[in-house]
Structure 1
Amino acid sequence: MAEVGDEPTALPEGGQNAVGQAIGLIGDEWTLTILRYATAGVRRYNDFLEQLAISNSVLTNRLTRLAETGLLEKVAYQERPPRFEYRLTKRGRDTWPILLSIWAWEAAWVPEHAERLPTMRHTRCGHAFQPLLLCGACRKPVEPRDVTGDFGPAGGWERSVPAANTRRRSNSGSTATPELVPQTMALIGNRWSAALLGAAFLGAHRFKDFERSLGAPPTMVADRLRTFCDLGVLTVSPGLDRSDWLSYHLTAKGRAFFPVIMCTLDWGHRWFRSPEGRALIYRHTECRRTFTPRLACDQCRDPLRGSDVAVER
């Protein structure tokens, strides 16, 4: 019998789709941090507690949620008294391209961090590397301009936005957030931020485009656009038709976040499936086939596997 996390989750018809599920999980900084340590071999509750500046209540909440959503499996390793450890499932291990893409983007584009991000070394060629985004069909490197996308049968903004309570990023109380990847969380750690970034990659430029696509309050859209401009992810300029109609465009920094988005959506579509079909469909314009992201070493150009990446301090 397949264990939880070894088979895709069937989502209810008409409900939240794979995009909403994936962003709701990945857009939580404690979840990312726990996955990072679990990937490094941490399994037991007390070990997580010792290595993370986290409260018992927050750790218990996140471990429970990760087990319920099939990323971790809770396994007894002692009977008297009962003790459990949390092992990565196939679904949990499959998040490594997301984690790798996030670390690479933060290392390249965000100079300030609470702690130094690790160096990634490709064990097959021996070099420190940056992940290179490839088309899974033709194996050629891709940029955002090389990929077109639109909603699929299970798509739509309403179904793709994470639930409001999937992200709590408050520094109040005894436990602050880890602040390991602060700008990543500014982009996907808020339900409207993630949706606005998706709209930008799908071609939205004007305020009205974002407002219409997201169905969010104008004040929220204005706040998110201002935040993205402050982060250097978007740049604003006068519109071509009217100078008072501002136009927002992704910067080089914003476009460099593309692998994070693509790997997150690909993971979500693999592990959360709506009966109507995919939420988003992307196509590589050069080979004209469905775009599936793959990561390669930028030094030797060989495709990456999670087991081939060594983390160095």
Structure 2
Amino acid sequence: MTRPPTDPPGGTPRQVVHPPDRPTPLPPGGTNAVGWTLGLIGDEWNLLILRHAMLGVRRYGEWRQELPISHAVLTRRLHVLTEMGMFERVEYQRKAKRFEYVLTRRGRDLWPVLVAIWGWEAEWVQARPERLPRMAHRTCGRAFLPVLSCAACEKPARAADVTGGFGPSGTWSRSVPAATTRRRSASAEGAGMFPETMALIGNRWSAALLGAAFQGAQRFRDFEQRLGAPPTIISDRLRVFCELGVFTQVPGEDRADWQSYRFTEKGRAFYPVVMTAIDWGQRWFLADEGPALVYTHRDCGQDLRTRLICDQCGGLLQGTEVLVGNSV
């Protein structure tokens, strides 16, 4: 029987091996599904390895050929991703004991998050070390951008169309990964990584501040009170978000000298990344108390379950329906 986890990915080594084809039970009072998900997708190398795995890479040497990654980093990340139930380690050569890493059901189920990240970066991020691959929808044959929709009514689900917030296992302290803040490596930045996505979710305080903003926080003191972070960290993260064009500063409604921070169109467009990640995490990490976040789609009144549709033909996107081609 699998023991409940104690630390999210990126922290100290763990003994638990997450079941690849069924949800991981979470202990009461510990890191919730959001924290575990951010610990996984907030690591740039994890996303790069999973991105190439979705394109068919399975063997250690293939990742070494595709990525400017050291032996130590690749070995560690493959170990963590296997522990997390994203890969199954399968022997393909007995004599020399060689293994390949096959995506599990849990690992394959992450594809909407990767597609949502790709869609946002393709539309909103101009400067990058490497051009993104072109993606087309097999059904209509056209290049597309993913649109977040509600599984119940199949209508678009923008941030303004959704209401909700913390559920029974949801608090700010339980929703951030316990791992220390990661530094972006120069090698990963040159590997075609999604640079601005990492600026938003690759730092524990950035991810928390982003979540607070989507829950309605706008003023400095709102972020400070909700996150419990030092003022210098809040100031730095707000500065970065403004520099990226995700936030804009406007005079406060109560006092003009108290600045408010509002989402720009670019910032609101990141919503599908946030919601597909939350949806994935709450399918695969279950707390006895209940979900970390609960959202309702205003149009139909149902709990929001995310789907991605093609902006060209309106058809439902599936992992097997996304074709990778030339760079865009």
Among 240, 253, 264, which residue is 2:266 paired with?
253
Q: Paired residue for 2:14?
A: none
Q: Give the RMSD, CA atoms, in angstroms.
A: 1.5
Paired AA for residue 242 in structure 1 = R
Is 1:67 aligned to residue 78 of structure 2? no
Distance 1:166 1:69 in 2: 20
**1:125 counterpart letter in structure 2:** C
Mapped partners of 1:198, 1:78: distance in 2: 45
2:203 matches 1:153: no
Distance of 1:299 and 1:197 partners within structure 2 = 29
Write the distance in 1 (CA, Å) between the matches of 2:148 and 2:72. Answer: 38
Cross-structure match for 1:225 = 238
Task: Give how far 1:168 is off.
Answer: 4.4
In the alignment, which of 220, 223, 228 is matched to residue 210 of structure 1?
A: 223
Residue 167 of structure 1 deviates from its aligned partner by: 3.6
Amino acid at match of 2:202: G
Q: Tell me, yes or no, if the aligned pair for 1:24 and 1:166 is still in contact at 8 Å.
A: no
The answer to whether residue 102 in structure 2 is matched with residue 84 in structure 1 is no
In structure 2, C-alpha distance between the alignment counterparts of 1:308 and 1:291, rounded to whole Å: 23
Aligned residues: percent identity?
59
Q: Please say if residues 131 and 192 of structure 2, whose CA atoms lie closer than 8 Å, have aligned partners that are also in contact.
A: no
Return the match for 2:257 from 244, 252, 275.
Answer: 244
CA contact (8 A) 1:283 1:290 kept: yes
Distance 2:210 2:119 in 1: 19
Q: How far did 1:275 drift?
A: 1.0
1:120, distance to aligned residue in structure 2 (A): 1.1
Counterpart selection for 2:293 from 280, 287, 301: 280
Q: Structure 1: where are the runs of 5+ without partners?
A: none
- Residue 45 and residue 133 in structure 1: after superposition, are their counterparts in 2 closer, same or farther (change >3 A)? same
Residue 114 (structure 1) aligns with: 129
Alpha carbons 1:106, 1:181 under 8 Å: kept: yes
- Which aligned pairs between 1:171-190 and structure 2 lie closer than 5 A? 171=186, 175-177=187-189, 178=191, 180-190=193-203
Output the TM-score relative to the length of structure 2: 0.92
Amino acid at match of 2:268: R
The alpha-carbon deviation at position 179 of structure 1 amounts to: 5.1
2: distance between equivalents of 1:308 and 1:240? 47
Over 2 Å off, 4+ runs: 1-4, 164-171, 175-179
The match for 2:45 among 22, 25, 30 is 30
Query: Which residue does 2:141 correspond to in 1?
Result: 126
Whether 2:24 is the aligned partner of 1:9: answer yes
Task: Kindly tell me the number of residue pairs found equivalent between the two proteins.
Answer: 310
Deviations 1:130-163 (A, max 9, x none): 1111111111112111111210000000000111
Equivalent residue for 1:102?
A: 117
User: Taking structure 1 as reference, are residues 297 and 144 closer, same or farther at Cα in structure 2, changes over 3 Å only?
Assistant: same
Q: Distance in 1 between matches of 2:220 and 2:80?
A: 36
Residue 204 of structure 2 aligns to which amino acid in structure 1? R
CA deviations on 1:284-309 (whole Å, 9 max, x unpaired) are: 11211111111011111111110011
- Secondary structure of the 2:180 match is helix
Structure-2 change in CA distance of 1:167 and 1:248 (3 Å): same
**Aligned equivalent of 1:303:** 316
Structure 2 spans left out of the alignment, 5+ residues: 3-17
| 2:210 maps to 1:197 | yes
Q: Give the alignment's TM-score, normalised by structure 1.
A: 0.96
Q: Is the 8 A contact 2:85 2:104 kept in 1?
A: yes
Aligned amino acid, residue 12 of structure 1: P
Amino acid at match of 1:106: E
Secondary structure at the aligned position of 1:213 is classed as: helix
Q: CA contact under 8 A between 1:121 and 1:310: conserved in structure 2?
A: yes
Alpha-carbon contact 1:129-1:299 (below 8 Å) kept: yes
Q: State the secondary structure of the residue aligned to 2:184.
A: coil
Amino acid at match of 1:59: L
Displacement, 1:176? 4.4
Residues 74-94 of structure 1: CA deviation (Å, up to 9, x unaligned): 111112211110000001000
Deviation of residue 165 (structure 1)? 3.0
